[in-house]
Amino acid sequence: MHPTYSALTVLIVDDSRCIRDVLREMLRELGVGLILEAHEGAQAIARCAESPTPVDLVFCDMAMPGLDGVQTLRAMAVAHPEIAVVPLSGRGSRLLASVTRLAEQIGLRVVAALSKPFTMEMIEQVLADTVRTRGEHLHGKPRAMSAEAIDRAIAERRVEVYYQPKISLADGSIAGVEALARIRDTEVGIIDPSAFIEVAEQDPERIERLTMEVIRQSIEQTGFWRRSGLGLKVAINLSTQAIHGVDLPDAISAIVSGAGLSNDCVTMEITESRVIHRPDVLDTITRFRLRDFGLAIDDFGTGESGLQRLKGLPFTELKIDRGFVAGVANDADARAILETSLELGHRLDMRVVAEGVERKRDWRVLEDLGCDEIQGYLAARPMPAQAIPDFVGAWNIASVSALPT
């Protein structure tokens, strides 16, 4: 019935026999070739090692006696970096979102995070995504760069900026682009930020140089687009580590006016968990706002700041982390968090942007809930600057409705 899944080897790790039975039956019905089971972490690691064919996919319960889910995934990451994982939990999507993030940080390919109970549809989607994303993960997965290699890349002008379009749901137009740093390597090609941002952040001077490079390029590019008739806004990621010494709002204003733009074309994105504790960060973001820059809270939902904090801060945009967006159509908890975030954002007069929209059914939920903007692979992946004019020219929101669910 599903010949594409007969080559898959899937491991189910859960201490509940009932959950294992349900999952096994579903996988069998979907035509999975080999199904392995373990009731706890150590056994799971052993099953992986003994399996006659490499395990492609692991469904892993997060709360188990013995090794917990996170420890189990960590051990698997070391031995089998190519494996796809699906964290399972009966305890709601907040926990799942943070586990997902953690798993991604240790280099695992998380294809979904599922709250119990599961439906056949959810499991089939997981299998489809596992097959679809197989090549991409390893292909694009970089190892961390050294600080010296980053310095060389900056000096040799190999820092490049990719742009990912953001779609406005009100009228289907392209609201703007997010600038995302890349490093070009003569041997491996394009390197993703997961290989260099964190390393660069360990030294304030280094992350400042990298940040200024991205800021300069993306603002000049946006000015160039504007002059050629393409009025796009640009959003730029700002590490709080880069906020030191220089007066960023002043320095960036000068770049913006040099490019023939006004500050309200530029939004600075700052990660939620980083905003809070430093008075100089608060000072800087307030001055960005005074100078009419947009200000976005990035990765909303992953920090511990809570809603209290937001109220006194001058943000104009809330970007909901993709941990709460991906799969929302099948996840009542994620939906509740989304609804609450949207309501909060709107009450505080912010635009709300959903990140990581990969599926049409999630897109529909976001439309129904009144989300303002959508960013995700479904509409567009990040792309080099040269590709943007063609994308904008060809864009038609109706093409999203024509996609399969």
Where do contacts with ligand C2E occur on this chain (CB under 6 A)? Answer: 164, 180-181, 192-194, 197, 211, 214, 237, 239, 298-299, 322, 355-358, 375-377, 382
C-alpha distance from residue 231 to each of 140, 228, 257, 261, 301 (Å): 31, 9, 15, 10, 31
Residue among 37 and 331 whose Cβ is closer to ligand C2E: 331
Minimum distance from residue 76 beta carbon to Ca ion (Å): 26
Q: Which is nearer to Ca ion, 127 or 275 (CB)?
A: 275
Contact 66, 40 (CB under 8 A): yes
In the complex, the smallest distance separating the C-beta of residue 49 from ligand C2E, rounded to whole angstroms, is 29
Judged by CB under 5 A, the stretch of 210-218, 258-266, 292-300, 364-372 that binds Ca ion is: 292-300
Nearer to ligand C2E, 56 or 299 (CB): 299
Is residue 19 within a helix (H) or strand (E), and if so which, with residue range? helix 17-29
For 215-254, letters b (16+ CB in 10 Å) and e give bbbbbbbbbebeeeeeebbbbbbbbbbbbeeeebbeebbe
Distance CA 169, CA 366 (A): 9
Task: Pick between residue 45 and residue 238 the one whose CB is nearest to Ca ion.
Answer: 238
Residue written as token pair 């590019």: 221
Q: Which does 192 bind (CB under 5 to 8 A by kind): Ca ion, ligand C2E, none?
A: ligand C2E
CA 324 to CA 311: how far, in whole Å? 21
243 binds, among ligand C2E, Ca ion, none (CB under 5 to 8 A by kind): none
20 vs 322, beta carbon nearer ligand C2E = 322
Provide, rounded to whole angstroms, the least separation between the CB of residue 193 and ligand C2E.
3
Contact between 269 and Ca ion per CB under 5 A: yes
Residue 193: name its binding partner from Ca ion, ligand C2E, none (Cβ under 5 to 8 Å by kind). ligand C2E
Report the alpha-carbon distance of residue 133 to residue 130 in Å, rounded: 6
The answer to whether 149 and 207 have CB atoms below 8 angstroms apart is: no
Among 61, 208, 220, 298, binds Ca ion (CB under 5 A): 298
- Structure tokens of 270? 């700052």
